[in-house]
Structure 1
């Protein structure tokens, strides 16, 4: 088959089924084009994208500024490895560290790589700066977390599908309840070798679980009290998704206008990915100040592709778009509208129990068990009605459109969602 030969949806799915590993269960739609908030399948049907590649495409599909930066750099210099300097990486590091107010950035490619990097930095800091005996460092994590699927990361997951038959697992982690300051305090007081606390500001894969007001600030205060690094995994929540540049802190220009109660919190270690590239290229990063990042020296950590010129150019363009198009402000405003309208529907619904979220990271809880097919069936119906979303944890549907969406488009999407849900009312 020629690579230019047209293919049907059935043909594309059959090829993946035969030649690809079955490590995903996609919605049966085969996409071939994207622009802004829309995607088209191979037959030409148009859809609203309400997943945004798990919040990687915050800036919209194929944003011309980001694509332009990628193409221009790809025609000049693509990869040198870190054996040599390149003329783009330093500029990206300066731009990103000034944007997020940290001293240093360590570039990687994927979110999981960035999490692994943060764990290594935390442990090395614990031995060299905090004085924890070597190989004794503990890192506190939360139950129902999702930080990736590497062997180390699934070692502290409690998802049986991610874990079964992948052991033996990596030691050195303490699991506690999410959104419980008491659980965190007990873990800190009962374990003398704690190096860090790794947390998602909002648990995305767990169903867009937003913690209680004051939880993150309280957790940061406890970490400071016990000399423990507060590590924020903002791979999904960062880069304007929740209505601020970061979910954990008010460093963005929109904070004064739209911050509604959550105090400013600056992590000791910040993990970014996904929308750091606008979905155009794998770009991730770990940021920290000199007293923490200084423990990393030549040979300690690296990646052939991490910090490559294309990634650096794309990262700068992606952040430019977020700032220049005021996408954090737009996410805040449209998120308020989305939840307000969905709450009205929930009040009289038998199929939806709740809507929750921040900014344009939201979810609805379907009134059925996790083992039921109801949420999947609703997503299939949404697809037929021109909107793409995906269930998580069986009975939760996450809604996360590109942040370039406008009010008229959002209202159209709300109409599609509510009309579709009405088909499933009992």
Structure 2
């Protein structure tokens, strides 16, 4: 506020003391124009009125108030001030509309990427999401959790592409996981379900009656029938386009009563196991293709690989936005080297340290979305009543517990 008020005071003082042939009054228009950059209509109008009053004062002090020149200056100042006030009214209305849109978008993103439960059985869980796109809370990375009768299942993944298409495909995978994770008997069946859902979503319109390039419409399911993932896997798949949708994911099943973690890796970076100041990479020996590419010729089966996961140990899951983050010199973020010092931390502390360290490495500029999930197995064994954890609830109809 000192800037526009100072302009008015300076113009008045100099114009009154200057020689008769020097007129600085037209500069008063700068005061309401500058005010509009940071203030609302009322304050801008007040500065405009003050500028007009200053122009009148100059006219009285210099005995030229009723001259045509000064009257034209006053009229021009009133007109410009009114236009500036009108501009601030329109701008404030647009800002309110934008704020409402951001609020709705934020709620939608939070509903889509729900926070993970803090506890599930004897597991302590925390999650982190850093969107590369400014103002966004979610991008193409994803994670979710689901509860079965005797274990906790997790997914973390990264959808190909960016922007709205990536959001849409991430929503598809999250929805398919939440719908099936608690009822599919095995991890391979769950992986088949996710792959079938992604491939069906990508190809359903190309298989509509009358679509060009349909090789075998008889093999398509009925229009009103939902695709069966098992049938989708067995049936001859459509030709795979290099532009097809796919996502790298890793599926985990952590039993309540066995100190292991079962995993299926579909082209995703391997988890890290943190214990006793050391880091172990749980690299898959038999990785599968990314979800959505299961129909490629010679695609490997989804095979479960098990790793020890003892009480007190911590699993760190992450996307390539973490491991491939670069600094100004192009150096990748040294996740494995840094993570060893965090083995004694809890999940929340690990992710807070990861966030601080990652943003410091990249100077706050991420080139890709980054997501991470930390899971610690707590000491002890859950009882039948505690197995579902404080944040999980058993359905009254006897179905497996779920979120």
Name the TM tier (shorter chain).
Answer: under 0.3
Greater Rg by CA:
2
TM-score by length of 2: 0.25
